[in-house]
């Protein structure tokens, strides 16, 4: 049987990580892997998480299963974080998942069950796992323009023009904030225009939000998502706790389905439970419980928000330093967009050949589409990167 298996393309980011580890040079800079790092290059455990774990160790009395869709307290805490009071709780079905990736997968499974003929429209570029999961599930997929390489901003006119070809019942996969891999976000006015277009065409938004708090702050980063969920008749939301709580390996995520209240909501909730049962049965609880404790305890939440704000400000400082260093070295303003981007990532908008030149000549490791992890920089490596970019003629 196993001889009939076929090889699949290696994950480009994981392959890049291995190449970096095998590189003998001692001044290499890894800007490929998508995890937060501090100035020392470590991904620390947040103090709020440590304290929550200590309390959990003292208080926990059982390791028995939680429900098929997770602890309702986790759902309530995440709904409050993501949506505030923008949507009535009675309209929302929710299911805990193994990380944000699990939420994306379950959301696409739900789409396939509810609207088998739906095409999912995906930004060009997007997070590679979006396309990989869609292909694996056999879901029809079409791209829409998103990033303007010339300006480093959102190609909003191209985006709207491409989505005009979408049919009623199609799904638009959107990034809630801190767009991965580009770092370029729509303005609130553009969110409003996009909502009007989706309403007119009968499209359903599916919002993937993995970096709330990394851009302009917890509330501002959720503003576009809240506008979408409050004004569209139906919305799917996949959320991750990996980045803003720093619990990558705990795999804490959630899928929300916003629709009509009452029987319609109950039907959706039942389908989410069914999908979890078919895939992994009960979702992991440890990370979700830590998140719940932090979000519902005033002391832990204040500690977490302060730590998150320090991470956010640190990335903004690195962006400004890099943009200023590039302006000084290139004697131009063409890299100023890097300071305007938000979140962990930015896309330089250059060719794979130039990305390879950065790796070969300077030990700078970026993903092939020129995505770089800003959180992988520090005050010492910013000048090295700026010099490499200018020397490469980017």
pLDDT at 105: 98
For all residues of the chain together, what is the average pLDDT?
A: 94
pLDDT tens per residue, range 111-134: 999 999 999 999 999 998 999 999
- 255 backbone dihedrals φ, ψ, rounded to 5°: -110, 125
Catalytically active residues, by annotation = 127, 208, 210, 243
Predicted TM-score of the model (pTM): 0.94
Please name the fold of domain 11-45+301-391. 3.90.1150
**How does pLDDT run across 339-348, given as a tens digit for each residue?**
999 999 999 8
Compute the distance between CA of residue 211 and CA of residue 213 in angstroms, rounded to an integer: 6
Same fold across 11-45+301-391 and 65-296: no
132-153: per-residue pLDDT in tens?
999 999 999 999 999 998 899 9
d(CA 144, CA 93): 28
The residue among 263 and 369 whose pLDDT is bigger is 263
Q: In the chain, where are the structural domains located? A: 11-45+301-391, 65-296
Beta carbons within 10 angstroms of residue 215's beta carbon: 23
> What are the CA-CA distances from residue 75 to residues 194, 242, 285, 289, 364 (Å)?
27, 16, 12, 10, 40
Comparison of pLDDT for 29 and 97, the residue scoring more:
97
Please name the CATH architecture into which domain 65-296 falls: 3-Layer(aba) Sandwich (3.40)
Give 205-222 pLDDT, tens digit per residue. 999 999 999 999 999 999
Contact criterion met (CB below 8 Å) for 236 and 107:
yes
Quick one: pLDDT at residue 27?
82
**pLDDT bracket for residue 21 (50, 70, 90):** confident
Separation CA 22–CA 200 (nearest Å):
52
Per-residue pLDDT tens over the stretch 137-194: 999 999 999 999 889 999 999 999 999 999 999 999 999 999 999 999 999 999 999 9
Residue 288 makes CB contacts below 8 A (sequence gap 6+) with: 70, 71, 74, 96, 241, 252, 254
pLDDT tens digit sequence for 288-315: 999 999 999 999 999 999 999 999 999 9
Strand partners for 240:
253
């Amino acid at each position: 049987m196993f001889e009939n298996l076929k090889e699949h393309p290696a994950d480009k980011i994981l392959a890049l990580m291995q190449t970096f580890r095998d590189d003998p040079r001692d001044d290499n800079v890894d800007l490929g892997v998508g995890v937060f790092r501090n100035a020392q290059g470590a991904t620390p455990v947040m103090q709020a998480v440590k304290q929550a774990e200590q309390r959990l160790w003292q208080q926990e009395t059982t390791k028995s299963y939680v429900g098929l869709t997770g602890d309702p307290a986790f759902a309530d805490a995440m709904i409050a974080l993501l949506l505030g009071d923008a949507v009535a709780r009675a309209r929302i079905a929710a299911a805990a998942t193994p990380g944000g990736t699990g939420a994306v997968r379950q959301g696409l499974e739900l789409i396939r069950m509810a609207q088998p003929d739906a095409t999912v429209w995906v930004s060009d570029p997007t997070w590679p796992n979006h396309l990989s999961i869609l292909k694996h599930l056999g879901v029809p997929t079409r791209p829409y323009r998103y990033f303007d390489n010339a300006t480093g901003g959102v190609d909003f006119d191209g985006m709207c023009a491409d989505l005009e070809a979408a049919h009623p019942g199609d799904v638009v996969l959107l990034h809630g904030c801190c767009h991965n891999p580009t770092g370029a976000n729509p303005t609130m006015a553009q969110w409003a225009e996009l909502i009007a277009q989706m309403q007119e065409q009968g499209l359903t938004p599916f919002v993937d939000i993995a970096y709330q708090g990394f851009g302009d702050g917890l509330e501002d980063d959720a503003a576009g998502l809240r506008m979408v969920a409050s004004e569209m008749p139906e919305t799917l939301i996949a959320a991750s706790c990996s980045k803003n709580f720093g619990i990558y390996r705990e795999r804490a995520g959630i899928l929300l389905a916003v629709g009509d209240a009452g029987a319609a909501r109950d039907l959706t909730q039942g389908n989410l439970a069914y999908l979890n049962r078919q895939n992994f049965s009960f979702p992991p609880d440890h990370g979700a419980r830590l998140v719940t404790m932090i979000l519902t305890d005033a002391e832990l939440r204040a500690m977490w928000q302060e730590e998150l704000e320090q991470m956010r400000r640190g990335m903004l400082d690195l962006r400004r330093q890099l943009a200023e260093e590039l302006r000084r070295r290139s004697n131009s303003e063409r890299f100023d967009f890097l300071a305007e981007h938000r979140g962990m990532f930015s896309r330089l908008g250059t060719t794979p050949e130039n990305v390879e030149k950065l790796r070969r000549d300077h030990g700078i490791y970026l993903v092939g589409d020129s995505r770089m992890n800003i959180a992988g920089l520090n005050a010492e490596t910013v000048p090295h990167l700026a010099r490499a970019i200018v020397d490469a003629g980017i």
